[in-house]
Homo-oligomer: A and B are copies of this chain.
């Protein structure tokens, strides 16, 4: 069945499974998660909110991040999402529990737990490096999540705030990205010779994967929480019967979206949507699709 352009849902799927997945981040970084979700779940409708009026979250206090995250999530919940994905490591680290309680029974998925799970599976030595924002490092959520799964693990966290600005500037390859990666990582690599797994603990970082990978060398597995989160989202939707395309209703060709609004991404930004579209292209790995609707959503502090 070809995808339909009509705005009125005509699907026979239940409203719940037909609803979009809500994804939010402080800005554009979470688009790496959105991209992974779109690749894994091409039938799903995705609604993304970038809280660009208050970005970044990574340098702010836990209390402030929790407040901002709840406000951002509420915008998505009001629009009827069937699941919330916190596509921001800082917010996942400090606000997952709070959002799960506030929006219960809506499923809420963060990026930290999937990343920790993947790191524990990938590391042989148990010595795991986590690179992240200052806020994520200070909160220690990755360390806790990894240790809870693997008691023999040794976790080393490194705050790499310049990577965020570098990714937003789009300078993702070349000598400057390389020099910054080496400056952040060389000393740590010398001190932790047994480390064999590096977690990209910020949704901005996957776009810098080549530079980071070169800096740490081939002995490292790189864990990209965008990919691991997309896997968990797919599994959770399936477990709850909330996948948009019901089992047995296969698309004609693999990856072809089916049903009304299938595969549709909508974008909301709390400020400066033009910048969001421009910088966002770096993270989506392509010019943002023509169906981009960058709405400015005014958030009011609690």
Complex: chain B residue closest to A298, CB-CB: B301
> Chain B contacts of A271 at CB under 8 A?
60-61, 64
> Chain B contacts of A183 at CB under 8 A?
171, 176
> Chain B contacts of A54 at CB under 8 A?
53-54
> Chain B contacts of A64 at CB under 8 A?
53, 271-272
A161 CB–B CB distance under 8 Å: yes
The CA-CA distance from A175 to B182 in the complex, in Å, is: 12
Complex: chain B residue closest to A135, CB-CB: B272
The distance from the CB of A260 to the nearest CB of chain B, in whole angstroms, is 33
A169 CB–B CB distance under 8 Å: yes
A81 CB–B CB distance under 8 Å: no
The quantity of this chain's copies bound in the complex is: 2
> Chain B contacts of A176 at CB under 8 A?
176, 179-180, 183
Complex: chain B residue closest to A182, CB-CB: B176
Report the count of interface residues on A (CB-CB < 8 A): 28
Complex: chain B residue closest to A165, CB-CB: B165
The distance from the CB of A93 to the nearest CB of chain B, in whole angstroms, is 15
> Chain B contacts of A134 at CB under 8 A?
275
A59 CB–B CB distance under 8 Å: yes
A92 CB–B CB distance under 8 Å: no
The CA-CA distance from A52 to B63 in the complex, in Å, is: 13
The CA-CA distance from A162 to B53 in the complex, in Å, is: 19
Complex: chain B residue closest to A166, CB-CB: B162
The CA-CA distance from A55 to B165 in the complex, in Å, is: 13
A53, A161, A166 interface centre (most CB from chain B within 10 Å):
A53
* Contact among B161, B166, B168 for A168, CB-based, below 8 A: B161
A300 CB–B CB distance under 8 Å: yes
Near B by CB (< 8 A), chain A positions 40-72 give 52-55, 59-61, 64
The distance from the CB of A174 to the nearest CB of chain B, in whole angstroms, is 9
The distance from the CB of A107 to the nearest CB of chain B, in whole angstroms, is 29
Complex: chain B residue closest to A163, CB-CB: B165
The distance from the CB of A57 to the nearest CB of chain B, in whole angstroms, is 11
A197 CB–B CB distance under 8 Å: no
- When A and B form their complex, which 9 residue pairs have the shortest distance between CB atoms, in order from nearest? A165-B165, A301-B301, A61-B272, A64-B271, A162-B165, A61-B271, A176-B179, A60-B271, A300-B301
